[in-house]
Chain A
Amino acid sequence: MSAMTEQHGDRRSAGELEASVLAALWAADRPLTPGEVRELLNAGLARTTVTTILTRLQEKGVVDRARQGRGYAYTPVADSSGLHARRMHAELERGEDRGEDRGSILARFVSDLSPEDEEILRALLDGDEETRE
């Protein structure tokens, strides 16, 4: 797997790399150093590349950094405008009023599952689940 990702790691645009790094920070439950981000992404990025991306993200105000040892550790910045509660509500509602002419034109990654769907999915992904952690 890592060979595969290494292959296309360097061909990705700056925007795509920023997305990957920011996603890694959000997925972690603690501040991460550039080295840790690099390891987590496992995408064959140079450490300096990761540091550059993190600096750029910090300049944009989407991540914060704090001194840790000789370098910095980074955390994502949450937008605290209170919009999210409302958005979340809208998001849940949107999931419910599917069909008719009220549906959203924003395609969601995954639609709702029925219990049967859940069974089928678990069966499909089962063999793989065992190899995870």
Chain B
Amino acid sequence: MIYAVWLPPLIPLIAVPAARHAADRLAPRAAARLLVSCAVLLACSSTAALGALAALGLLRVNQVASAAGFSPEAPAGHTGPALWTAPVATILLIAGFAQVIRVAVRHHRELRSEQRAIGPTAGELTVHPDEYPYAYALPGRRGKPGTIVVSAAMLRSLRPDEREALFAHEREHLAGHHHRFLAAAQLAAVLHPALRALREPLAYALERRADEAAAHAVGDRKLAAKAIGRAALAARESKSPAARRGAILATVGGAVPRRVMALLQADDATQPARRRCWTCAVAVALLCCLALSAATGVDAVEDLHLNVAHGADPDRAASVTSASWAR
């Protein structure tokens, strides 16, 4: 029977929780890299498997049609994928690619419109005279250095040394090209819904990475923690009661208090031994999942290649199909 081709789309169901578990226990930079590589690899192999399924199915329909007089089930003992899988896989594939293009275009537009709307810039800083406290890092256009965009209200709510922590945080986002990580994870999530669950921990890991860089730059973890806390409280205070009620629904897991606590705690090098074992086990399981996913994804494409190579001879192609699917 054919199992291999179904693996890549199903593996994320195990690999995603395992990756989240592992990321929780890794340093922020390593966690971000792990999460984004998982997202991209799992999305690619499940898409490859889907593509192989669609193409093989269509190929078989062709073969069946050309071998006139036989019903679709004709090749005796054939164990290829059921005929209905081809149109389903094709539709999923087309929908997936359409979504990828839509999201990529939206990212591009967002960046361009922000970059175009940028006002007078002093080196790396642009200040908007807004009454709502916000700050974000805006990547530069075509290799140009990026800009830190910050509202006047945000600057007023922080003390001078806290502002330095904020700037160092945003500088790290720019230097590390963190927007690319977020974009990659978003595109992967479009191709496989189970990968959506990687986006939130990835965003958190990137914030933590920038927080650590800020703490290092100002030479004071507590100062960096205060900057984050004060900024978040100021943002909340400036909101209308209705917007605050909305935030209750929007917030997941209280990322800001977690970030502040992580900075206030000393580097947590000491973990109980049993927990370390469990983490190792999860890491091994995750690696197995990723390897299996990649291998089966590549395998499915290879099968397709074999089939196309022998496509000229319908009988032989059918035997190759059944042989490779049965593997």
4 interchain residue pairs of minimum CB distance:
A79-B119, A15-B123, A19-B125, A112-B247
A92 near B236: Cβ-Cβ < 8 Å:
no
Task: Say yes or no: is B311 at the interface (Cβ < 8 Å to chain A).
Answer: no
Query: Closest chain A residue to B236 by CB distance?
Result: A113
- Interface membership of A77, Cβ < 8 A: yes
Using Cβ atoms and an 8 Å threshold, which residues of chain B touch A109? 134-136, 154, 166, 169-170, 228, 231
**Does B257 interact with chain A (Cβ within 8 Å)?**
yes
Q: Which residues of A contact B136 (CB under 8 A)?
A: 106-109
CB distance from A85 to the nearest CB of B (A): 9
Picked from B117, B167, B229, B255, the residue with its CB within 8 Å of the CB of A125 is B229
Given known A-B contacts A5-B161, A107-B136, A110-B232, A124 and B122 have beta carbons under 8 A apart: no
Contact bitstring A110-131, B, C-beta under 8 A = 1, else 0: 1111111110111011001000
B159 to chain A: closest residue by CB: A132
A4 to B154, CA, bound (A): 24
> Hey, which chain B residues are within 8 Å of A88, CB to CB?
128, 130, 132
Partner of B120, one of A77, A92, A117: A77
Q: Is the CB of A49 closer than 8 A to any CB of chain B?
A: no
Interface residue B287 (Cβ < 8 Å from any Cβ of A): no
Interface string of A1-27 (1 = CB under 8 A from B): 100110110000011101110111011
Known: A4-B219, A124-B257. A112 touches B155 (CB 8 A): no
Is B264 a contact partner of A124 (Cβ separation < 8 A)?
A: yes
Let me know if B129 and A84 touch, CB within 8 A. Answer: yes
Judging by beta carbons under 8 Å apart, are B110 and A105 in contact?
Answer: yes
Tell me the B138-167 residues at the A interface (CB within 8 Å). Answer: 138, 148, 150, 152, 154-156, 158-161, 163-164, 166-167
Q: A108: which B residues are within 8 A, CB to CB?
A: 134-136
